[in-house]
Structure 1
Amino acid sequence: MKVVCVGGGPAGLYLAILLKRQNPSHDITVHERNPEGSTYGWGVTYWRALLDRLHTYDPESAQAIEESSVRWTQGVAHVRDQVTRQPGDAGHGIGRHRLLEILAERARGLGVRLEFEDEITPENLPEADLVVAADGIHSTLRTHHADRFGAEVTEGRNHYVWLGTTQVFDSFTFAFAETGHGWVWCYGYPYDDGHSTCVIECAPDTLTGLGLDAMDEAGRLTVLEKLFAGILDGRPLTGGASAAWPAFRTLTNRTWHHGNLVLLGDAAHTTHYSIGAGTTLALEDAMCLADALREHTALPQALAAYEHRRKAEIVSAQSAARLSAQWYENLPRYIGLPPHRMFALLGQRHSPLLPYVPPQLYYGLDKAAGRLEVLRRFKRWLGPRAARALHVRS
């Protein structure tokens, strides 16, 4: 089979790796419009469950990813001058540049052709048995067939900026800073021994009230460094091409394939960054598509199976992402709680029940459920059903 993959991000590279492992005779080319080694963003996060799956699908690249990652087992929240910590699941961070380097090296080693600075459009699309659109939320190939794919984009309310720092956090770090125009908050996590990612978010009125939307990059960084001086410990923030203040755009598509063209990763779907699942979902898309192509000899059946399975699998993540984004959009509802209680509810932000129960009452019920097995079982039973009901209504 001849495969053309448009987009050299994690999804496209990992799919190429998996298809070559399944059948070395496949003719696979990955086309990336940017130069090799250039990418947006700083570090990405993932959890142990993904690492286990990576080891199952391709142990060699999984080992390299694990060796290049940092790990944490707790979260810390800074609210005004108070600090609270909570244990959590083992989280991992890896630099996006390093992740792409590992996947590119592995793909080349298997015989995949990588063509950088090679922008593919509908007009110069090479002939192939399968064309994979892994070219992100602004996918050119998907847009060309917009009526077929039925893309819908929903813009969130808050604005964010993606930054880096040489401050190495020892855990997944949240910091909430109060200003005269509202709250500004930061999500920070390490991704190698010398760097961390900082995603900073605020409401629209806060953005304009502080003048952040009208400042140049140097001015914005100066303001943010002062606001988060307590967690940065004197180290600077670093901007770059990603130092803007967009509102997050959630993308869905009515269908994920048309003819021999299939969508992968952010070209097919996006989920709010606050659940840290974007890269995980993209890699899992690649796993699912590779499985479907192995299990079905006819391409139409394979693409239909891939779409059906992945759409069902990501419902819970999409629901969690919507609820997580809404939690931050309604931060004043929670920020006045004692920090340890606010942090506990931050960890419960994926619950479809939380927006409808007074925060103090929900905290008490959640603590009780943690002590009583019958309530814990009821909570586990009710949560997925409420999430599915929310998905159906939306």
Structure 2
Amino acid sequence: MKVACVGGGPAGLYLSILLKRQDPSHDITVHERDPEGSTYGWGVTYWRGLLDQLHERDPESARALDAGSVRWCDGVDHVRDLTARHSGDQGHGIGRHRLLEILAARARALGVRLAYESEIGPGTLPDADLVVAADGVRSALRTRHAAHFGTRLTAGRNPYVWLGTTKVFDAFTFAFVETGHGWIWCYGYPYGPDRSTCVVECAPGTWTGLGLDRASEAEGRALLERLFAGVLDGHPLLGRPGGTPWQTFRTLINRTWHHGNLVLLGDAAHTTHYSIGAGTTLALEDAIALAAALREHAALPQALARYEKQRKAALLPVRSAARYSAQWYENLPRYLRLPPERMFALLGQRHSPLLPHVPPQLYYRLDRAAGQLEPLRRFKRWVGPKIARTVHARALAARE
């Protein structure tokens, strides 16, 4: 089979690796419009479950990924001058640049052609049996057939900016700072021996009240460094050479993921809010599912239908978690009135569909009790999805 993958991000590169391992005779080219070694972003996160999946599919690239990652088990929360540390699952961080280096080297070693500075527009599709649109949330290939795919983009409320820092956090770090214009907060995690990612978010009124909508990049970063001095320990915040704009997160949903021999992969197919840290994991899992479907079904239409059905089902709980996580931050004052230990506990419960509909203090007490009583655990598992379905149905009805 001749495969053209448009987009040299993690999803496209990993798919090319898996397809070459399944059948070395596949003719695979990955087209990337940017020069090799140039990438956006800082570090990405993933969890042990993804690494286990990668070891099963391609041990060599998984070992390199594991060796190039940093790890943490703790979470640290800062609210004003209060700090709490708690243990959790092991997290992993790796620089996006290093991740792409590893996957590109492995793909080349297997015989994949990597064509950098190769712009593929919607009117110049490559001659191939399968064309994979792995060209991100702004996918030109998807946009050409947006009506067929049923593409829907929904903008979030809060502005955010994705920065780096030379401060190396020793845990996944949350910091909430109160200003005269409302709260502003950051998420920080390490991804290398001398760098961390630091994502800053706030409500629109806080953003404009602090003047971040009017400030230059340098002025804005200087203000953020002052606001988060308690966690940065004098280290600077870093922007990208080409500019690091504030933006609002866009949730992307497509009604269908394939059109003829064209199939969507990764952010071209779907996005989930960054606060659950699942973007890279979902992209790689898309590649795993598509490679498996192509292996199991000789006919391309059946393979693409199988891939779409499987991944849509797998995404349902993730999308729900991402939606409620984003809403938790959009309604942050509701939780910051709690005693710190309770607020921190509900931070860990922000994916729950039940939490927005129960007074926070009551939810905290129920959650504590549910940890000890099996009937209450069963009640939470039963009522949460029912509330989620009701809210979803009402939202659909309102749109109609």
TM-score interval, smaller chain: over 0.9
* Per-residue deviation, residues 315-346 of structure 1 (Å, max 9, x unmatched): 10111111000000000100111111111101
Report if the CA contact (8 A) 2:94-2:191 is conserved: yes
Indicate conservation of the 8 Å contact 1:161/1:242, yes or no: no
Report the alpha carbon displacement of residue 124 of structure 1 after superposing the two structures with TM.
2.3
| Amino acid corresponding to residue 234 of structure 1 in structure 2 | G
Deviations 1:47-79 (A, max 9, x none): 111111011111111111111111111111000
Identical-pair percentage: 74
Aligned to 1:35: 35
Cα pair distance change 1:219/1:370, threshold 3 Å? same
Aligned partners of 2:108, 2:387: CA distance in 1, in Å?
Answer: 45
Distance 1:267 1:242 in 2: 23
Q: How does 1:115-126 map to 2 (within 5 A)?
A: 115-126=115-126
Q: 2 CA distance for matches of 1:107 and 1:391?
A: 41
2:323, 2:287 → 1: CA distance?
A: 23
Q: SS of the counterpart of 2:213? A: helix
Query: What aligned pairs does 1:289-300 form with structure 2 within 5 A after superposition?
Result: 289-300=290-301
Counterparts of 2:386 and 2:358, CA distance in 1: 17
What's 2:90 paired with? 90
Matched with 2:106 is 106
Query: What corresponds to 2:398 in structure 1?
Result: none
Per-residue Cα deviation, 1:168-217 (whole angstroms, up to 9, x for no partner): 10100000011111111000000011110000001111111111011111
SS at match of 2:118: coil
8 A contact 1:165–1:238 mirrored in 2 = yes
Question: 2:125 corresponds to which letter in structure 1?
Answer: L
Give the aligned partner of residue 44 of structure 2.
44
Give how far 1:382 is off.
3.8
Letter of the 1:331 counterpart: L
Structure 2 equivalent of residue 231 of structure 1: 231
Alpha-carbon distance between aligned partners in 1 of 2:385 and 2:106, rounded to the nearest angstrom: 38
Amino acid at match of 2:360: P
1:137–1:266 Cα contact (<8 Å) kept: yes
Q: Residue 175 of structure 1 contacts residue 228 of structure 1 at CA under 8 Å; is this kept in 2?
A: yes
* Contact 2:354–2:383 (8 Å) recurs in 1: no
CA distance in 2, matches of 1:20, 1:338: 54
Point out 4+ residue stretches in structure 1 off by more than 6 angstroms: none
Q: Which residue of 2 aligns with 1:345?
A: 346
What code does the residue aligned with 2:54 have?
A: L
Alignment of 1:146-295 (within 5 A): 146-240=146-240, 241=242, 243-295=244-296
Aligned equivalents of 2:150, 2:243: Cα separation in 1: 28
- Residue aligning to 2:4: 4
In the alignment, the residues of structure 1 paired with residue 389 and residue 304 of structure 2 have an alpha-carbon distance, to the nearest angstrom, of 25
The 2-side partners of 1:124 and 1:102 are apart by 29
- Change in Cα spacing, 1:41 to 1:282, as seen in structure 2 (3 Å) is same
- The answer (yes or no) to whether the contact 1:316–1:387 under 8 Å persists in 2 is no
In structure 1, what is the equivalent of residue 140 of structure 2? 140
TM-score, normalised by the number of residues in structure 2: 0.97
C-alpha separation in 2, matches of 1:353 and 1:251: 24
Which residue of 2 is the match for residue 310 of structure 1?
311
Pairs aligned (count):
394
User: Cα 1:40–1:58, aligned 2, differ >3 Å: closer, same or farther?
Assistant: same
**Secondary structure of the corresponding residue to residue 177 of structure 2:** strand
Contiguous gaps of at least 5 residues in structure 2? 396-400
Whether the aligned pair in 2 keeps the contact of 1:41 and 1:242 (CA below 8 Å) is no
How many angstroms does 1:386 deviate by? 4.2
Q: Is the 8 A contact 1:319 1:390 kept in 2?
A: no
2:14 partner letter: Y
Contact 1:352 1:390 in 2 (8 A): no
Query: In structure 2, what residue type is equivalent to 1:149?
Result: F
Whole-angstrom CA distance in 2 between matches of 1:187 and 1:282? 21
| 3-state SS of paired residue (1:138) | coil
- Give unpaired runs (5+ residues) of structure 1: none
Q: Give the Å deviation of 1:392.
A: 4.9
Separation in structure 1 between the aligned mates of residue 372 and residue 194 of structure 2, nearest angstrom: 40
Q: Distance in 2 between matches of 1:16 and 1:63?
A: 18
Question: Which residue of structure 2 aligns with residue 356 of structure 1?
Answer: 357
With structure 1 as the length reference, what TM-score do the two structures score?
Answer: 0.98
Amino acid corresponding to residue 208 of structure 2 in structure 1 = T
Moved more, 383-392 or 324-333: 383-392
Q: Deviations over 1:104-154 (max 9, x none)?
A: 000000000000111101222220000000000100000111111110000
Q: What letter matches 2:11 in structure 1?
A: A
